[in-house]
Amino acid sequence: MPPHSQPAPHRRADAGAEALHALHALSRRGFLKVGLGFSAALACTALVPSLAGCSAADAAPQAGMAWLRPDDVAMFRALLPAVVTELAEAPPPRREALVQETLRNIDTSCAAMNAGAQAELRKLFGLLASTPLRWALAGIRQSWDATTPEQVQAFLERWRASRLATLNAGAVVLVKLASVSYYVLPAAWAGSGYPGPNAPVYKALHA
């Protein structure tokens, strides 16, 4: 199973800070800026929806979200049980509630990023939304909603073990966005072994 951080949560903003830190490192490595071949691949996969009159680049956010699109939400729904293992063990109603809250945190973090970071993140999400590219680079041929946690874990391990810094950075960003956005939830603190912040201090900070 891929390693994942279990930070001591304080505020929802922590998720954005952690993700931004990862994206800054990602940008220093030239994440997803791997030349014309990759850009051409993304452009080709974009032609199919464009010819049908619906460009993926113009897709609207998922209902109730500020930035995440339906394909992004489907991807993170598959990622979360693989990255946050206790989610897979939770009863279905509780799991769904935690997933929804985590998705909102991920959306909030992405929406708060600067335009450059969002552009790089959109490239990563676009790659993983494309069936041919996802199959070639992540080994996942089926749709995200038909993907098992074990398959997602294998994909993340493959990227983290890759010789390509691009894939290494992509795995780091996906794991950070998923794990940090989950572990800032007060409902997740007990499962992570975090007792929660000092109650008077927490109350004062959130007054």
Tell me the pLDDT band of 58, cut-offs 50, 70 and 90.
Answer: low
In a domain, 202, yes or no: no
29-45 pLDDT tens trace: 444 443 333 444 455 54
Cα–Cα distance measured from residue 80 to residue 139, given in angstroms and rounded to the nearest whole number? 18
pLDDT of residue 36: 37
In a domain, 59, yes or no: no
Total-model pTM: 0.73
In a domain, 8, yes or no: no
In a domain, 144, yes or no: yes
DSSP letter at 41? H
Greater pLDDT, 2 or 140: 140
In a domain, 36, yes or no: yes
Q: How many domains, in total, are found in the chain?
A: 1
In a domain, 1, yes or no: no
Count how many Cα atoms sit within 13 Å of the Cα of residue 17 in the half-sphere of its side chain.
8
In a domain, 7, yes or no: no
Residue 181, number of CB atoms within 10 A of its CB: 30
| Torsion angles phi and psi, residue 81, rounded to 5 | -65, -20
Q: What is the mean pLDDT of residues 74-85?
A: 95
Task: Please give the residue range of the domain that contains residue 17.
Answer: 13-52+69-189
177 close to 19: Cβ distance less than 8 angstroms: yes
In a domain, 133, yes or no: yes
| Centroid of chain to Cα 191 | 21
